[in-house]
Amino acid sequence: MKQKVLIFIDWFAPGYKAGGPITSNVNIVEHLGNEVEFYVITSSFDYHAKEPYNGIEENKWVDYKGAKVMYISPKNIGMGKLKKAAKEASCDVWYINGIYSRYYSIYPLILAKVLKPKKVIVSARGMLSPHALAVKSRAKNMYLTLAKGLKLYKNVTFHTTNEEEGRYAQQVISEKNPVEVAENLPRKMNVQTCGCPKMQGELRLVSFARVSPEKNTLFAIRALKDCKQKVVYDIYGQVNNEEYWQKCKDAINELPENVKVNYQGSVSPSEMPAIYSGYHALYLPSTGENYGHAILESFMNACPVVISNKTPWLGLEAKKIGWDLPLDESLYAPIIDRMAMMDANDFTDMRKSVTTFITDYLANNETRKKYLKMFAL
């Protein structure tokens, strides 16, 4: 008999605008669906959307690739609806995403005290790191103090994607909470072996990420100001803060003529492989990534990366698959110019290194085993 796991998450497929957490949970369902019976309780609206998903019935269980999903409408969401749905799912294992969401993180923890599933797992999603806690710190610290006082996290297992995140969880909540470390599962897709043709002296860069301080969009733009070669940088992702985006646009206007930056809006995951084929490399010097789905998917699309050293993807230059650099603006333009000056043969060799690396990475089945162990009783 399959283990039954109930997932709580603010947004789920077909949503995509919230980025990594959606991708992580969709990948879990797609990779483990043959061994685990998944139920998902989520919102019927995408992140910052004004209308519900098209063609999906709200407030009832519907099928998504073998999982049963309850898309709850905003007017129906509440403790009563969540309790009813959780009882209907009747799962021994609960997998709660995030820390601060009222309906999909906090209420499930409260409900767990009433319905008493055999195992409660909380995936912190990077929300307990020092960098994350520094944003709106007063409200977060007030909640965490209250949650610990009410013992909401008693007997909870934390899921983290690396050892460092696990230490943060235990430092902030309690060292008594066990931690299961399992990096995110990759999207199910074929590895590409070719991409955008390369001309010496030119480089086409792309990013798939929210336009936000966390993703360091403004830094990425400013770091291009000293590029000497012909560079195009296209940004795909949600703009949530117009004030921040205005700063980005001001920085774009100050770039030299040889550097062009274009905002291309948001795209769904299904569109990304075709888009990647028009670029040479991912450019994403973010302030931190627990995992970095965009980085992995760049490799899967035969694109090397230029990223910060604040992600798990390190030592890239030695592997000939990209660069992971400190967050110093002056370091990025020389590397980007160096890539731009590669001719077709040099760049093809780098692309082959990327394909070899990602093929070997995906052949490793250990991550899948970690999730099955985590969800087991």
Question: What is the per-residue pLDDT for 194?
Answer: 74
Do 220 and 258 lie in one domain? The reply is yes
**DSSP assignment, residue 187?**
P
Are 7 and 153 found together in one domain?
yes
Query: Is 154 inside a domain boundary?
Result: yes
347 by Cβ neighbours in 10 Å (0-12 / 13-18 / 19+) ranks as buried
Beta strands in the chain (DSSP E): 3-8, 36-43, 61-64, 67-72, 93-97, 119-123, 156-160, 179-181, 202-208, 230-236, 259-263, 281-284, 305-308, 322-325
Domain of residue 258: give its range.
Answer: 202-362
- Identify whether residues 210 and 115 lie together within a single domain: no
CA atoms of 211 and 143, how far apart (whole Å):
27
For residue 208, give the nearest of 303, 131, 128, 127 by alpha carbon.
303
> What type of residue sits at position 76?
N
Residues 115, 93, single domain; the answer is yes
| pLDDT score recorded for residue 357 | 94
In this structure, the answer to whether residues 60 and 45 fall within a common structural domain is: yes
Same domain flag for 29 and 159: yes
| pLDDT per position as a tens digit, 148-170 | 999 999 999 999 998 989 999 99
pLDDT (0 to 100) of residue 18: 86
196 within some domain: no
Count the alpha carbons within 13 Å of 191 in the hemisphere toward its beta carbon. Answer: 19
- CA distances, 276 to each of 65, 75, 310 (Å): 25, 39, 23
The pLDDT score that the predictor gives to residue 132 is: 86
Number of domains in the chain: 2
- Distance CA(108)–CA(8), nearest Å, equals 8
Count Cβ atoms below 10 Å from residue 231 Cβ, excluding itself.
25
Please list the ranges in the chain whose pLDDT falls under 70: none
Q: Which tokens in the block code for residue 119?
A: 């195992």
- How far is C-alpha 24 from the geometric centre of its chain's CA atoms? 7
89 and 55 in a common domain: yes
The answer for residues whose C-beta is within 8 angstroms of residue 259's C-beta and 6 or more apart is 224, 225, 227, 231, 232, 233
Q: Quick: pLDDT tens for 190-229.
A: 777 778 899 999 999 999 999 999 899 999 999 999 999 9
pTM above 0.85, yes or no: no
Q: Do 218 and 163 fall into the same domain?
A: no
The verdict on residue 128 lying in a domain is yes
Sign of CA dihedral 376, 16, 309, 97: negative
Asked if residue 151 and residue 15 are part of one domain, the reply reads yes
The two tokens of residue 329 are 């603006």
Instruction: Specify the CATH number for the domain of residue 349.
Output: 3.40.50.2000
Rg from Cα positions in the chain: 21
- 82 and 109 fall within a common domain: yes
pLDDT the model gives residue 191: 79
Residues 26 and 131 occupy one common structural domain: yes
Q: Which of 21, 145, 151 is nearest to 95 (CA)?
A: 21
Classify residue 342: in a domain, yes or no: yes
Shared domain for 271 and 155, answered yes or no, is no
In a domain, 197, yes or no: no
Task: Report yes or no on 136 lying in a domain.
Answer: yes
Q: Which residues contact 374 (CB under 8 A, 6 or more apart)?
A: 121, 157, 159, 180, 182
Does some domain include residue 192?
no
Give the span between the Cα atoms of 278 and 250, in whole angstroms.
26
